Amino acid sequence: MNAPDKLAQLLSLTREPFPASRKVHVPGMLHPQLQVPMREVALSNGETATLYDTSGPYTDPAAEIDVRRGLPALRAGWIEARGDTELYTGRERKALDDGTKHEEREAQRIAALRAEAAALQRQPRRAKAGANVTQMHYARRGIITPEMEFIAIRENGKREWMAEYLADSEKAERLRGNPMGAKIPQLITPEFVRDEVARGRAIIPANINHPEIEPMAIGRNFLVKINANIGNSAVTSSIEEEVEKLVWAIRWGADNVMDLSTGKNIHTTRDWIVRNSPVPIGTVPIYQALEKVGGVAEDLTWEIFRDTLVEQAEQGVDYFTIHAGIRLAFIHLTANRRTGIVSRGGSIMAKWCISHHKESFLYEHFEDICDIMKQYDVSFSLGDGLRPGSGADANDEAQFAELRTLGELTQVAWKHDVQTMIEGPGHVPMHMIQANMDEQLKHCHEAPFYTLGPLTIDIAPGYDHISSAIGAAMIGWFGTAMLCYVTPKEHLGLPDRDDVKQGIIAYKIAAHAADVAKGHPTSRARDEALSKARFEFRWQDQFNLSLDPDTARDFHDETLPADGAKVAHFCSMCGPKFCSMKITQEVREYAAAQEGMAQKSAEFRAGGSEIYIPLNKA
Interacting positions 509-538 with its own copies (CB under 8 A):
509-510, 512-514, 516-519, 524, 526-528, 530-532, 534-535
d(CA 380, CA 444): 13
Q: Which of 518, 508, 460, 501 is nearest to 483 (CA)?
A: 508
349 phi/psi in degrees, rounded to 5? -70, -35
320 phi/psi in degrees, rounded to 5? -115, 130
Does 574 interact with its own copies (rule: CB under 8 A)? yes
- Tell me the closest approach of the beta carbon of residue 266 to its own copies, in angstroms: 13
Cβ closest to its own copies, residue 242 vs residue 291? 291
From 52-60, 62-70, 272-280, 338-346, span contacting its own copies (CB under 8 A): 338-346
Does 340 interact with its own copies (rule: CB under 8 A)? yes
d(CA 51, CA 345): 36
Terminal CA-to-CA distance of the chain, rounded, Å?
Answer: 62
Q: Which residues within the stretch 538-557 sit at the binding site for its own copies (CB under 8 A)?
A: 542-543, 545-548, 551-552, 554-556
Work out the burial of residue 214: count CB atoms within 10 Å of its CB; fewer than 13 is exposed, 13-18 middle, 19 or more buried.
Answer: buried
Count of alpha carbons within 13 angstroms of residue 378, beta-carbon side: 31
Cβ closest to its own copies, residue 64 vs residue 171? 171
Q: Which residues within the stretch 95-124 sit at the binding site for its own copies (CB under 8 A)?
A: none
Q: Which residues within the stretch 447-476 sit at the binding site for its own copies (CB under 8 A)?
A: 456-463, 465-467, 469-470, 473-474
Other CB atoms within a 10 A radius of the CB of residue 505 amount to 19
* CB 56, CB 71: distance < 8 Å: yes
DSSP assignment of 91-148: PPP-GGGG-S---HHHHHHHHHHHHHTGGG----EEEPTT----HHHHHHTT---HHH
Does 289 interact with its own copies (rule: CB under 8 A)? no
* CB 421, CB 380: distance < 8 Å: yes
Cβ closest to its own copies, residue 211 vs residue 549? 549
- What ranges in 162-238 are assigned the alpha helix state H? 163-171, 190-198
d(CA 34, CA 38): 13
From 152-160, 246-254, 274-282, 585-593, span contacting its own copies (CB under 8 A): 585-593
- Tell me the closest approach of the beta carbon of residue 429 to its own copies, in angstroms: 5
Cβ closest to its own copies, residue 280 vs residue 346? 346
Does 365 interact with its own copies (rule: CB under 8 A)? no
Does 322 interact with its own copies (rule: CB under 8 A)? no
Q: Which residues within the stretch 398-457 sit at the binding site for its own copies (CB under 8 A)?
A: 405, 408-409, 411-412, 429-432, 456-457
Cβ closest to its own copies, residue 243 vs residue 529? 529
- Tell me the closest approach of the beta carbon of residue 278 to its own copies, in angstroms: 23
Cβ closest to its own copies, residue 71 vs residue 482? 482
Type of residue at 536: E
Does 335 interact with its own copies (rule: CB under 8 A)? yes
Residues 152-191 as x/- pattern, contact with its own copies by CB under 8 A: -------------x--x---x-xx-xx-------------
From 24-32, 65-73, 76-84, 605-613, span contacting its own copies (CB under 8 A): 605-613
Does 45 interact with its own copies (rule: CB under 8 A)? no
Does 493 interact with its own copies (rule: CB under 8 A)? yes
Strand boundaries in 311-386, DSSP class E: 319-322, 379-382
Cβ closest to its own copies, residue 47 vs residue 116? 47
Does 38 interact with its own copies (rule: CB under 8 A)? no
From 82-90, 111-119, 237-245, 353-361, span contacting its own copies (CB under 8 A): 353-361
Q: Which residues within the stretch 378-397 sit at the binding site for its own copies (CB under 8 A)?
A: 389-392, 394-396
Does 27 interact with its own copies (rule: CB under 8 A)? no
d(CA 385, CA 330): 11
Number of residues that bind its own copies (CB under 8 A): 139
Phi-psi region of 333 (alpha: psi -120 to 50; beta: other; left: phi over 0): alpha
Type of residue at 358: K
Work out the burial of residue 172: count CB atoms within 10 Å of its CB; fewer than 13 is exposed, 13-18 middle, 19 or more buried.
Answer: exposed
